[in-house]
Amino acid sequence: IGITLSPEQAARAAQLAQEAGLTNVKFQVENALKMPFEDGTFDLVWGCESGEHMPDKKSYIEEMTRVLAPGGNIVVATWCERDPIPPFTSEERTTLKYVYEEWSHPYFISISAYGKLMEGTGSLDTVETADWTDQTLPSWRHSIFVGVWSPWYWLKSAMRRPKTFLGFLRDAYCLERYHRAMRRGLLQYGMLKAVKKK
């Protein structure tokens, strides 16, 4: 079961699954901070690039832990800011404020802070965290190019709604700001995993 707050994402995921001939999956619109599933429903809970969008990181981790079965695995991939030691400079805070507000992220936390939240549930063993920024960076600009650059798409969109092209330029600029923040260590790509106690 895949969940999202976006009906469009859920519909697109269902379409892609159907095209791929997958019959054992379904996608639904749900709030990840208050899921309708019973305790211990899943042997694997996988959170992919959703933590950065959550206004309450603690509840996010606790809710995923709640629906995880004893002995099950939780894996989280999420955008993070670096550890706050040494303290952020005013210029670094300005950069973070820009990337958060541009795409309506409430805020990021550090990889170690996520690790502490997982340990703080009291229900997870073998909490492991890792910084995958170095593994992510080589493909970052390529993924941007593939994701946002389609001349025909933008030409058709701009002809229908000229302001669309301004949005494209704005997104491309923001993506580049993300890339530079990762290269300087201000932003990090966090990977976390743990096993629920039996």
> Can you tell me the distance from the alpha carbon of 98 to that of 137, in angstroms, rounded to the nearest whole number?
20
Dump pLDDT digits (tens) for 180-193: 999 999 999 999 99
> Can you tell me the distance from the alpha carbon of 126 to that of 31, in angstroms, rounded to the nearest whole number?
27
Q: Which residues contact 125 (CB under 8 A, 6 or more apart)?
A: 194, 195, 196, 197
Per-residue confidence (pLDDT) for residue 169, from 0 to 100 = 74
Q: What percent of the chain has pLDDT over 70?
A: 90
Dump pLDDT digits (tens) for 94-110: 999 998 998 889 999 99
Pick the residue with more confidence: 159 or 14? Answer: 14
Residue range 129-153: mean pLDDT, rounded: 77
Question: 167 pLDDT exceeds 90?
Answer: no
Task: Name the phi and psi angles at 123, rounded to 5.
Answer: -110, -5
Dump pLDDT digits (tens) for 56-71: 999 999 999 999 999 9
Choose among 124, 127, 131, 47: nearest CA to 83: 131
Q: What percent of the chain has pLDDT over 90?
A: 75
Residue-wise DSSP of 79-137:
EEEPPSSSPPPHHHHHHHHHHHHHTT------HHHHHHHHHHTSSEEEEEEEE-HHHHH
Question: 147 pLDDT exceeds 60?
Answer: no
User: Rounded to two decimals, what is the model's pTM?
Assistant: 0.88
Residue 111 contacts residue 136 (beta carbons within 8 Å): no
> Can you tell me the distance from the alpha carbon of 109 to that of 98, in angstroms, rounded to the nearest whole number?
15
Question: 138 pLDDT exceeds 90?
Answer: no
Geometric angle at alpha carbon 56, from 71 and 121, rounded to 5°: 30
Residue range 4-31: mean pLDDT, rounded: 95
